[in-house]
Amino acid sequence: MSVKITVPATSANLGIGYDCLGMAVSLYSEFTFERADELQISGCSEKYRNENNLVYRSFELALAHWGEEPFPIKLHIDAAIPVSRGLGSSSTCTVAGIMGAAALTGRIVGRAEAVSIATEMEGHPDNVAPAIMGSLVCSFTPQGELPNCIRYNVNPNLRFVTVIPPYEVKTEEARKIVPQEVPLSTAVWQMGRISGLTRGLESGDVRLIAAACDDKIQEPYRRELIPDYDEVREVCLNGGAATLWISGSGSTLMAVTDDGLVAESLRARLQSMHPDFQVHVLECDTQGVRIQLA
């Protein structure tokens, strides 16, 4: 039996929701699994065609979690989600490995269990939760407990102009630059706006989204790691987008509009300005990870 696991990209933080908000979007990586006599991995660079491949490590860890013995597989990776750009590429690998292990062993895995296992592996749920559940997810993990994930619907009229520069921002570097303590006034600033942003994304109210998406914790610092931030932001806001945020730790930038023509116009303009960038007009993915016979 051969199974294909399709996992959506995710945008974490969404500006104001540092380490708690994440949204699945309509850009996908596909992973095809089947049992084999020896491990075979294709579709990635040579250095990842072995037991250290993140998808295979996740596959083995999931089996161990269920008390199953590991076994060799043939794995093909068709990854449209770029690595180290703030679109959850590592989470797609983690989720794919878990669901591939479940599919090849006939195990039925629900969303809550999948998120719990993936969070153990990733260390935090902000990307894996929307990759599994789809849509917009707010996650938090009480000490010593399983993650709590609150799923919100996102208005289907919203479009996300996704600008992917050809350079990375290392997550470790992006975390180091963020202050470890903030004043109470900053915490209060963030809390009210997180509520506003989730409501705005649900309702499609771009005015509310724009008013709420004004982060003080991480974006003022991380924007310095993205040389094109100011130019892309100016083009998007002057071109009719409601707001723009850094996706994850970057370097991807994501602008929000409820006008499909504005979105396509911005995509064309940004692509002409930066031919070496990837520029997509994405929607919120509402389904999350998919499993099908290949």
Question: Does residue 92 sit in the same domain as residue 202?
Answer: no
Question: Does residue 96 sit in the same domain as residue 199?
Answer: no
Q: Count Cα atoms within 13 angstroms, Cβ side, for 68.
A: 18
The tokens 């051969």 sit on which residue?
A: 2
Mapped onto helix, strand or coil, the DSSP state of residue 63 is helix
CATH number for the domain harbouring residue 95: 3.30.230.10
- Cα 279 vs. chain centroid, distance in angstroms? 16
Domain residues for the domain of 166 are 159-282
Question: Does residue 147 sit in the same domain as residue 163?
Answer: no
Residue 58 pairs in a beta bridge with none
Spatial separation of the C-alpha atoms in residues 263 and 256, rounded to whole Å: 8
Residue 152 pairs in a beta bridge with 136
With a cut of 90, say whether residue 124 has pLDDT above it: no
Spatial separation of the C-alpha atoms in residues 11 and 5, rounded to whole Å: 20
85 known ligand binder: yes
Reported confidence tier of residue 173, pLDDT bands at 50, 70, 90: confident
| pTM for the whole structure | 0.93
26 known ligand binder: no
Identify whether 195 is preceded by a cis peptide bond (ω within 30 of 0): no
89 known ligand binder: yes
**Domains in the chain: how many in total?**
2
Question: Does residue 17 sit in the same domain as residue 63?
Answer: yes
Question: Does residue 202 sit in the same domain as residue 182?
Answer: yes
With a cut of 80, say whether residue 143 has pLDDT above it: no
Question: Does residue 104 sit in the same domain as residue 199?
Answer: no
- List of residues 6+ apart from 233 with CB closer than 8 A: 244, 253
Question: Does residue 137 sit in the same domain as residue 14?
Answer: yes
pLDDT in tens, 43-94: 988 888 988 999 999 999 999 999 999 999 999 999 999 998 999 999 999 9
Question: Does residue 140 sit in the same domain as residue 6?
Answer: yes
pLDDT at res. 263: 98
Question: Does residue 117 sit in the same domain as residue 209?
Answer: no
DSSP assignment string, 147-200: PEEEEE---TT-EEEEEE-SS---HHHHHHTS-S---HHHHHHHHHHHHHHHHH
pLDDT at res. 48: 85
With a cut of 80, say whether residue 131 has pLDDT above it: yes
161 known ligand binder: no
186 known ligand binder: no
139 known ligand binder: no
Spatial separation of the C-alpha atoms in residues 220 and 206, rounded to whole Å: 22
83 known ligand binder: yes
CB-CB neighbours of 105 under 10 Å? 14
Question: Does residue 166 sit in the same domain as residue 210?
Answer: yes
91 known ligand binder: yes
Question: Does residue 42 sit in the same domain as residue 147?
Answer: yes
| Largest distance between two CA atoms of the chain | 60
CATH number for the domain harbouring residue 267: 3.30.70.890
Question: Does residue 196 sit in the same domain as residue 218?
Answer: yes
11 known ligand binder: no
